[in-house]
Amino acid sequence: MFYEKLGEEVVHCHLCSHHCRIKKGKRGICGVRENIDGTLYSLVYGKLIARSVDPIEKKPLFHFLPGSRAYSIATVGCNFRCLNCQNFDISQMPKPQKPVIGDDVTPNEIVDAAKRYNCESIAYTYTEPTIFFEYAYETAKLASKEGIKNIFVTNGYITEEALSAMAPYLDAANIDLKSFKDDFYRKICGARLKHVLDSIRLYKEKGVWIEITTLVIPSLNDSEENFKKIAEFIKDLDESIPWHVTQFYPAYRLLDLPPTPVETLDIAKKIGLEVGLKHIYQGNIIGEGENTYCPNCRRLLIERYGYRVTRYEIKDSRCPHCSEKIYGVWIK
């Protein structure tokens, strides 16, 4: 899906914002879409590299069916090359031109497994779901018919054409907004900031429930200016969008950097609240930063410990203490 033939057996891929022009016998930046004799093929359709039953909070989604379970799946490949990737062993596996591996699993089998494990949703996650679009698309259509929700955990580099096709079957997305500096995106991720911002806006316009995650990396994207710009962008979109500021741990090619101090996450949260965001969460650390509070009366509404919900008080999408509207997709 989403490509055109340019002549001389070259193809132009329209799936993500890289817009790769791929010569015969070559692959796109993702490593999993190959030009075979002038036709673009997905190499990962039906090839699962990972599958697991996860709490929805692990995505992280805190305002979407809290306490529920998501059947989580992935193929190999990614259209980013983030130097801090914790799943680099599968995301970067097919580059360059390496074999694409995975278990043969059909969309029907994925949906059946989600039902068998009593999962309320299917999460396309671990690597970038955009690069296994056709596989996710067919699965999501089947899941929707069965009343199972669909979730993208994504870097936000999908094109409008592709997202418009997926949106009718997509219920929620956690989107990374890694920095508000284009230089960070170019050097650390191999991408451009503008396309991510455009994609986030488009997810919102399409009616998909979104939450934003920023992995805070010491010395790279931990400035107060960066926090403020991200918070202002989210606020301009919708002050009720949850923002997850998450602790970094050394991984892949950023092993020389230290974990993020909790104090830095506290600063990000303080700035976000001052800007006017209603819900800010601190990820990868257990504690108060995981909980959901009423933005009006500040009463505790959802208490979490790790990925477990230990207290839940939202009723009819409102705070039971002051009747403030709490935006999200809640368990009825």
Q: Is the pLDDT of residue 97 over 90?
A: no
Q: Which of 238-242, 251-255, 304-308 has the least mean pLDDT?
A: 304-308
Are both 152 and 281 inside the same structural domain? yes
- % of the chain exceeding 90 in pLDDT: 97
Query: How far apart are alpha carbons 10 and 39 in whole angstroms?
Result: 8
In what helix (H) or strand (E) does residue 162 lie, and over which residues does it extend? helix 160-166
Are both 61 and 204 inside the same structural domain? yes
Provide CB contacts within 8 A for 328, sequence distance 6+: 62, 63, 64, 209, 242, 314, 317
pTM given for the model: 0.96
Residue 261 is classified by DSSP as: P
Question: Which tens digits make up the pLDDT trace of 67-88?
Answer: 999 999 999 999 999 999 999 9
Q: Is the pLDDT of residue 332 over 80?
A: no
Are both 94 and 229 inside the same structural domain? yes
Are both 251 and 133 inside the same structural domain? yes
Average pLDDT over residues 242-255: 97
What was the pLDDT predicted at 270? 98
Q: Is the pLDDT of residue 236 over 80?
A: yes
Average pLDDT over residues 234-255: 97
pLDDT band at 48 (very low <50, low <70, confident <90, very high): very high
What was the pLDDT predicted at 192? 98
Structural domain contains residue 2:
no
Are both 97 and 129 inside the same structural domain? yes
Question: Which tens digits make up the pLDDT trace of 178-235?
Answer: 999 999 999 999 999 999 999 999 999 999 999 999 999 999 999 999 999 999 999 9
Strand pairing category for 69-74 and 121-124: parallel
Structural domain contains residue 38:
no
What is the SS3 assignment for 134?
helix
Provide CB contacts within 8 A for 249, sequence distance 6+: 86, 259, 284
Are both 158 and 114 inside the same structural domain? yes
What was the pLDDT predicted at 146? 98
Least Cα distance to 56 among 170, 174, 146, 158 occurs for 174
Based on the structure, what is the number of domains in the chain?
Answer: 2
Q: Is the pLDDT of residue 315 over 90?
A: yes
Query: How far apart are alpha carbons 148 and 168 in whole angstroms?
Result: 13
**Domain limits for position 303:** 289-326
CATH number, domain with residue 230: 3.20.20.70
Question: Which tens digits make up the pLDDT trace of 141-155?
Answer: 999 999 999 999 999
CB atoms within 10 A of CB 149: 24
